[in-house]
Amino acid sequence: MEYNRIIAVTGLPGLFELVASKTDGAIVRSLDDKSTKFVSSRVHNFSHLESIEIYTVRDNVNLVEIFQAMEKSKTKLPDGKDAGALKDYFGEVYPDMDFERVYSSDMKKMVKWFESLQKSEVEIKLSERTEEEADEEADADEEVAEVTEAKPKTAKKKAAPKAESAEKEKAPAKETGAAKEKAPAKKADAEDTETEDAASAKPKKAAKKK
């Protein structure tokens, strides 16, 4: 039995092996009692274990990573009814788990699923197909990163004309400033002319008195 064929079905306890897919559902086999039955997709949702992720204090991890940590651990599986024991167990087995977002009900389910997988002797590992898909996603991310890095260069080229137009806009301001500097000079010339006229007018008045 392969791990990539194991699914969880909403509304039904335990895990199931996906035997066959139908347009309106699937034929599944229970890992607990080995019974086979048809499950309608109109009533239930199916979740492949390979697609389930768990919250951690860093990035999310695939559920298979938690199961593998549980396999390596020598700690006895806790009682699913004891929330404190569940948290202590996973705190030791996988301390990076985000216990604020992973609830006791989730940890209880993981323990039950792990026991079921062990009884059915399912090898807990991701399929080769999933690994290839992960590589393809990584390549796609690299392409997106390259496109993102190229965008600032285009922005710089477009910014150049704006700088030129700004300089053109500043040019009239300089001319206006120069005009303002010349204006007082004209007033000064006028004042000098008035002074000279006044000076020349005084001797004429003095000559009349004589």
User: Which residues neighbour 11 within 8 Å (Cβ) at sequence distance 6 or greater?
Assistant: 43, 44
Helix, strand, or coil (residue 57): coil
- What integer pLDDT is reported at residue 100 of this predicted model? 95
- What integer pLDDT is reported at residue 172 of this predicted model? 46
Gap between the Cα atoms of 89 and 60, Å rounded: 19
Nearest to 79 by CA among 114, 108, 119: 108
Nearest to 93 by CA among 113, 67, 117: 67
* Structure tokens belonging to residue 209: 């008195």
Q: Structure pTM? A: 0.61
- What integer pLDDT is reported at residue 204 of this predicted model? 47
* Rounded mean pLDDT for each run of 10 residues along the chain, 210 residues in total: 94 96 95 95 95 96 97 94 95 96 96 96 83 54 46 48 48 44 46 47 45
